[in-house]
Structures are given as C-alpha cells and as structure tokens.
Structure 1
Amino acid sequence: MSPTSSSSPTSPLSSTSSLQFADRLASANHVLSTEAAALAAVTHLYATHSVARAGFNAAVSAIVRNCGEKGKLVIIGVGKSGIIARKLVATFSSLGICAIFLHPTDALHGDLGYIQPRDTLLVITYSGKTPELLLLQDHLPSGLPTILLTAHTRPSDCAFIRARPTTILLPTPIPTPEKKSFGVSAPTTSTTTALAVGDALAVTAAHELHSAPGAPGLATVFARNHPGGAIGAALQSSAPPAPILRDLLALSFAELPLLEPCAGSQGALTGADALRAGFDAANTADAASAGSGWLRLCDGSVLPPSRIRALRNDQLLVPIGQVPGLVVARDEMLGIAADTQVRVAKDLVRSAHAHVPEGAAYLQVEDAIIALLDETGQIVGALEASQVLSQ
C-alpha cells in the first residue's frame, strides 16, 4: 500500500454530519438552559416566597437543634428521589452533620429501628404522594421534626403534609413540567432543584452548627472528614503547619532573666526577690524579657511564673531554696524535643505524669515543667505543662 493510500485516524466529526452535530449541541444547550432556568426560579422563590422562606428557616433550626450532639438526620426517598437522598447524606456527613439514608420499604421491614428520639427526618418526594412514603408515614414517630422536599408550594396541596400537618415544607417546584421540556417525564429538572435546595440546607445548617462558641469551624470539620483524594490533598497543602512546642515560647532559655549573679549564693535570695525579678519590669535590665515571670539560676534551675505567683506572704522572706517546689532543678523537668508537635506533647505530658513517683515536686499534671531540648539535648526553652495542655 502506498503512503498516499494509507488510512488516517478518523476525526470526531468525520462520521457526523454538520446538521447532526448542530442538533446534538442544541439539545444539550436546551437541557442546560432549562435546568439553569429552574435553579433561577427556585432561587427567586426562596428570596420572595413567605412559605419557602419560613420553611427553610424552620428546617435549619430543627437540624441545628437536634443534630448537634446526639441526634442525626434521617433522609428518606425512593427511586430517583432516593438517589438524591443518598447524595445529600454524603454532603451532610462530610460537613459534620450525622446523616443516614432510609429506604421506605426497608423501614417497614425492620429498619425503623434506625430512627431514634433525637433525630430529624428529611423526606424527598417530588409529587408529595409517593405511595411508599404515604404507607410509611403512619409508622414514623409523631414527635420528630419532619422536613419535606417537594414540588408543592402550599401545604394544603400536598398529601404527605395533609396527613402529617406539622411537617416543614421546603418547596422545590420547576417552572415547566419535564414532559413539556424534554418530551419525557424523566427526573431531570426536578432532581436538580431538589439537590440544590438540599445542598443549600446542608451548607447553611453546617455553617451555623460549627460556628457556635467553642466549635472548631466548618472548614476544620470538613478537612477532618475529607482527608483523601484531590480535595483532601488540596486541604492538606493549604493547611497551616501543626504548631510545635517551640512556637509557644515567648523567650528562649538563654533569654530568661538570671536571678542571681553567677558568683552569688542561692541561699541569700528570698521569695520577695523572685517576685520582684519575675514580674517587675522596672527591675529587669533586658526589655525583651521584662515581666515574663520566668527566672533561671546559674545551675540551670528555673523558677516558673505560676509558682512565683503562688508565693504566700510568709514565704516572701524565706530563701528560695527553702520554699517547697519553687525552684525546679534540671533533673525534675520533663525533657521533650522543641520541634515536637503540641498535640503529641500533650500525650507525652499526660503519659509521663501517670508514672510520677510519690513525693515528686508536682502532683498535678498542669504543674509539670517542660524542658525544650534541641538536637544535642541542650535546653533551649522552658514551658509550664498548663501552657501546652490548654492549646
């Protein structure tokens, strides 16, 4: 076969007429624009419609109130609505809201046991009269908050709500029936709007739940729940490095104020001298270490701030060496590498304290003194255990 007669790879358009190509793209654009119009309509609905707005507010309140600690969200659906329900379970779970999927038929054959008194129910049915859901309805606990994602915008029009009047209505209507839009009643636009409103509910409730005082924040919760895949890799690469013990130091060990001249005697210094040197900036020559509370002695011992502050009036004139526990010798400190992550150091402190012998200088784990060590074993800083445990 000559080079000129050899076959060449077929291009994507070589077997498709230009008319067929245009028809395919026109069909795709029609579907996309129809679904986009449905999302625009449901967005406008939740911006203006009193029933939709009140329902969304009530739904968020129910989830935040019941799913914070002991309760969970039970999402129920069948058919394509069941597929949307499973997707929403994944979304709520990744955002730190415990959620499970319940098939209505399986529920009637024993799975009703998954539903507990603190749970919230989220039911998905476009028609509002799916037979399996109406059959299940009589067996659902009457006192549980129930949210319904459905095409209806008025509670009185929905069979499910008529049978369960306390149900919270979340409307997910579409402007044009799918049969009219596409020539077939395949769940397309209807499932898109249901999924979008469900996503809005998940993100809004999760933000509120994890922004409460003392909560870790939604971004932290999501990163913890999604360590794998490209999302997990991106979160890990953008996350700040874990704090280490060295980060907690205000002063290095060499910068801690020296309580006595190296030629002096520890016995001549009193509790009052320690209190004045540790917390009186006017008596500290180095401005960088003024008022830090930490003091060190020439032999490497330290006087921690909390122990200086705990001095009683009757100890102020007592030599520091005679005040029980005030001076912490090097061999009484817990040595940990300065580059140890704080979360790891917490475990080390608690573990070491579990083996503290009777008569030790400290009895409470918070009272331990940590010596931060470099690669050669030299002390580069000192911390009170309470500083580490409080992180």
Structure 2
Amino acid sequence: MKQQDSPPEHPRARAHGPVQNSEVYLLRQHLPPPFTSIPPPSPPSPITPAEPDYLVDCSGAVVPAVNISSLTLADQTSLAAACDEKLAAEDRVSKGVHVLATEAAALQNLATIYSGDKPTRERFARAVDVLVRTANQGGKVVVIGVGKSGHIARKLVATFNSLALHAVFLHPTEALHGDLGIIGEKDALLLITYSGKTPELRALLPHLAKELPLLLLTGHQKPEGVELLRESADRMARKGETILLPAPVHELETVSFGVAAPTTSTTAALAVGDALAIVVSHEVHGDKEGGVAGVFGRNHPGGAIGKALAESQARSEPQDDCRDAGVSETELSLSSSPSSESESSLGSTSSDEEDGRSTPTSVTSLTESSTAVASAVDDDGEEDVTTPTITAKPPTSSTQPTILSMAVFPEQIPLFTENDDSVTGVDILRAAYASPSGWLSLDDKEIISPCRIKALPTAELSLPLPQIRSRLAISKERMVPVAAGTDVNVAKAWIRGLRAAMGPASQYGDDGVVAVFEGGETVGYLEVGKLLG
C-alpha cells in the first residue's frame, strides 16, 4: 500500500526549530463589570422634626411660635424687650406683695403683744382710763408729732373727732412759738415718736404742763431706752401720769425693704391709735342713744358712709309710726327675734363693757367691740353703696358658731409638773395620752398641742425635753389671738389670708395654735389645722 506523502516541510523549519506564538486563551466566560470611580450613595439623613406651632414665653403664656431665622435684628430686640417688660411687671407685683405681707405680719405681731404681754395690756387699760376721764370732764386729746409721726397724729385726730372725742393736733415746733396756748388744764397729751428720742419733742417736753397725763406712743416695748421717759421723771413726781404705749415692729424696715423709710412703723402706730379711739368711744358713748354708731353717724352725714347711715335710719322710721299708733314697747319687743336683743338700729353696748371689763382692741378687726359698716367706703370712694348693718359687736347666734365653741378650755389642759433634764419625749407622750383633751401645759406661757406630739419623730422620743422643747411647745407670744365672739368662718378666712402671705411654715401652719381671748384673758385654745380642716 502506498504511503501517503507527508506535507513538504517549510524551508526554514529545519533551520529555526518549532514555531511559537503569544496567544492566551481565556477559559472563563463571565467577566466582572468594569470598575467605576463613582462612590456608592450615602445612607439617608434623619428627618428634621417640624417646628412647633406654639411656644411658652418667659411669663408662662402660650404664644404662636416664631421662626427665629425669619426675624430681623430689630424683631429679636423687640421680643427680648417684651420679655423683660413682663418679668419686670412680675417683679413689681412680687415686691408689692412682700410689703403687704410684711406690714400684715407687723400688725399680727402687735396684736400678739397686746393680747399676751401683761405689762402692755395694763398700760393700754390705763391709757383708756385716762382718755375716758379726759372726755367725761370736758377735756380734749392733744396729739403731738413731727415728720411721718405728725401725719399719723393728724389722722388720729380726725378719727377721734369723728367719734365725738375732742382732739387737736399740735406741731412741736409751732408749739414753742405760741401754739402752747391750745393746751387746756383738763386735756391729755399723746406724743408719737418711734425712736422715743425725737429732738423736737425733747425740746418741747419741759414746757408741757407737768400735771397733765402724757401718753407716749413709741416703737419701744419696754421703758428702758426711751429717753423721753427718763426726761419726764419729774412729771411723775408732780402727780403727772406718763404711760408707755408700745408700737414695735417685728423687724427693722431696713431689713424688710432695704431702706429706713417709715412704713411698718407708721402702720403699727396708726393701728394702736385706732385701737385707743374705738375702745374709748365705746366707753364714753356706749350708753347714749344709738351708741357709738349713732354718734359717728351724726358726725359723718356726708359721703358714702353718710348716705348708708341715712338709709339705715330711714328704715327704722316705721317702728316710730307703730309707737305713734299706740303699739306698746312690750308688743314691739315680742315681735322681734331673740337675737336682735344685742343689735339695735344703731348699735348697743357690748357685754364686756356692761360688767366693767375693758377688752383690748385687736388691730385685725376681730375684737368683740367693733363697729361694722358693711359695703361702705369713705368720702372719696366711688363704689356703689349698699345698705350697711351697724352693730356694736360681731353677730353671734346658733346658726353662726363662734370660735369659742371649738376651743379647748384651760381647765381641760393638765399641767406637766416634771420639768427637769430626766424627762424625755416618752414621758410627754405618756402624759398627753392620760390628758382628757390630749393637750399639755408646761407652764403659764407654753402649751403642747396634740398635733405637735403626733409629729414628734420616733427617734426623738428618747431625747430629753430641753432638746425637743422648741419642737413641742409653743409660747403664747407665738399663738394667733382671736376674740371669743368671732364667727368661725370669719376666723378661717382671716387665718387663711395670713397663711397665704406668711407661708405654711409660719405660726399660721396646721401646727399653730389659736389663743381665744375674752375680756383680755385667754379662755381657750385651738389648733389652726383643726380650725381650717
């Protein structure tokens, strides 16, 4: 068999060897995508919350929201000024309330002194005797003062005269230049000076008749330190009576307000003077026709008060017609209610005056002998006047319980006699448990109420009494004085107002004690919390 011829060799194949090439065969079929220089997208940003439609401004009011970015500089300045103005207004009101609360505290402190301090009460009673004697013998009250005390003196003269107690004002400087002639031999002198050493009064004192009684209304509670009293020693040696009437303040005006301007001091002096005028007028005019209210009405025919008094008198005229028609006094008395016995058409004398006792007049208008003219304002008032109810003492009836009906009487409070360092809180707790009223008396000046005993922490029961005495006991000076005839609701409203001004941590808190007084004596005690509860 013939072999097939092989292909001819390439002429250069033998000379150069095997032929090579550079081709590369890729076996992978799917290639990656081409590289790109654009980075991947960033994650989404959080959603910005929408701006509120309303905001609360600097004064606490809700107002429409304002986009700050849309405000101009002038707009922003205007908003800041408005906010500052509102804050300034709030600050003004706050400062005003501070003044009112401070003066209210000063009056309460004054009432506490006159109801609980025996020497002060005795001096007040003596001063009333002097002025009553002066009025009955046809004399007058010569009130002397300079500066702000002079203004208080002029106001007191107006009050005395409106109550038919003859009074005149005398300026100490003018007195040394001829006005001393206004003083008569039956007169009484009332000097007003907070410091007790006013130079003008000291210069006048040697020229005043030494036989005349002198009342000194000052900021000192004790005679020590009153220069005018030391300089009037020869007056007492010559039968002239000198009586100190204290009108102190609970703190200096520089402490209260940062300035020594007469504020609380003049308020205190005015209150004591008003107390004198009211009490003296009741003793001088109480047995006259119409009583004090009738006298005041005749002296005050003008203004809103005069109009109200005239309307009250007009309503009483039909009773006179009944008498003219032949109706007897007995028939008229039988037709009236039992409670009207103490309320005549123009007032009557209080029971305390009838039995000879003089009741200190509280500056808080809660006394048993006060003249009430309801819904009436003075000459300059602009309010509509409603018909007043004029009485000589606050109304007390079975439908209006008095604060005395809620009080614990002193005879129900046992005296805790073990008063030494060995006595502990446990002993006090044991004694209070045995007390029929739950109250205890440490001495004549301190009382322990049930709520104070209950509030004593368990850890302090083992402590000696001297260490817990301030927490348990309350002195009479810290009690809230209220007249026994005061209506319960009236007392509640009064104490709530003082608590709002002074704060619950003051003597008007729930652990405070009300001292119920009658005829100048404490006749009962009551916890403030129980009264308000």
State if a TM-score over 0.5 links the two structures.
yes
Q: CA deviation at 1:61?
A: 0.4
Task: Please name the residue that 1:280 is paired with.
Answer: none
CA distance in 1, matches of 2:201, 2:257: 27
Q: CA deviation at 1:179?
A: 0.9
SS class of match (2:142): strand
Amino acid at match of 2:272: V
Task: Please name the residue that 1:50 is paired with.
Answer: 118
Amino acid at match of 1:247: R
Q: Does 1:209 align with 2:288?
A: no
Identity %: 52
Question: Using a 3 Å threshold, how does the CA distance of structure 1 residues 39 and 244 change in structure 2: closer, same or farther?
Answer: closer
Q: Does 1:248 align with 2:324?
A: yes
Task: Please name the residue that 1:106 is paired with.
Answer: 174
Task: Please name the residue that 2:212 is paired with.
Answer: 144
Per-residue CA deviations over 1:297-355 (Å, capped at 9, x if unaligned) read xxxxxxxxxxxxxxxxxxxxxxxxxxxxxxxxxxxxxxxxxxxxxxxxxxxxxxxxxxx
SS class of match (1:138): helix
Task: Please name the residue that 1:265 is paired with.
Answer: none
CA distance in 1, matches of 2:322, 2:194: 58
Task: Please name the residue that 2:307 is paired with.
Answer: 233
CA distance in 2, matches of 1:119, 1:242: 43
For structure 2, which runs of at least 5 residues remain unmatched after alignment? Answer: 1-80, 234-240, 328-533
CA distance in 2, matches of 1:219, 1:51: 31
Q: CA deviation at 1:115?
A: 0.4
Task: Please name the residue that 1:79 is paired with.
Answer: 147
Task: Please name the residue that 1:218 is paired with.
Answer: 292
Amino acid at match of 1:36: A
For structure 1, which runs of at least 5 residues remain unmatched after alignment? Answer: 1-12, 252-391
CA distance in 1, matches of 2:107, 2:283: 24
CA distance in 2, matches of 1:110, 1:102: 11
Q: CA deviation at 1:215?
A: 5.7
Aligned length: 238
Question: Aligned-residue CA RMSD in angstroms?
Answer: 1.9
Normalised to the residue count of structure 1, the TM-score between the two structures is 0.58
Q: CA deviation at 1:15?
A: 8.9
Question: Using a 3 Å threshold, how does the CA distance of structure 1 residues 86 and 245 change in structure 2: closer, same or farther?
Answer: same
CA distance in 2, matches of 1:245, 1:237: 17
CA distance in 2, matches of 1:137, 1:238: 46
Q: CA deviation at 1:37?
A: 0.6
Q: CA deviation at 1:43?
A: 0.5
Task: Please name the residue that 2:265 is paired with.
Answer: 190
Task: Please name the residue that 2:243 is paired with.
Answer: 168
Question: Using a 3 Å threshold, how does the CA distance of structure 1 residues 95 and 15 change in structure 2: closer, same or farther?
Answer: farther
CA distance in 2, matches of 1:170, 1:17: 45
| Structure with larger Rg | 2
Amino acid at match of 2:104: A
CA distance in 2, matches of 1:242, 1:218: 23
CA distance in 2, matches of 1:14, 1:115: 60
Q: CA deviation at 1:231?
A: 0.6
Q: CA deviation at 1:233?
A: 0.4
Amino acid at match of 1:173: P
Alignment of 1:287-298 (within 5 A): none
Check conservation: 1:102, 1:111, Cα contact below 8 A. Answer: yes
Check conservation: 1:51, 1:153, Cα contact below 8 A. Answer: no
Per-residue CA deviations over 1:228-276 (Å, capped at 9, x if unaligned) read 000100111111228767733428xxxxxxxxxxxxxxxxxxxxxxxxx
Amino acid at match of 1:248: D
SS class of match (2:317): coil
Normalised to the residue count of structure 2, the TM-score between the two structures is 0.43
Per-residue CA deviations over 1:38-68 (Å, capped at 9, x if unaligned) read 0010000001112211111011000001112
Q: CA deviation at 1:144?
A: 0.7
Check conservation: 2:163, 2:295, Cα contact below 8 A. Answer: yes
SS class of match (2:203): helix
Q: Does 1:125 align with 2:193?
A: yes
Question: Using a 3 Å threshold, how does the CA distance of structure 1 residues 155 and 242 change in structure 2: closer, same or farther?
Answer: farther
* Alignment partner of 2:92 out of 24, 37, 51: 24
Task: Please name the residue that 2:45 is paired with.
Answer: none
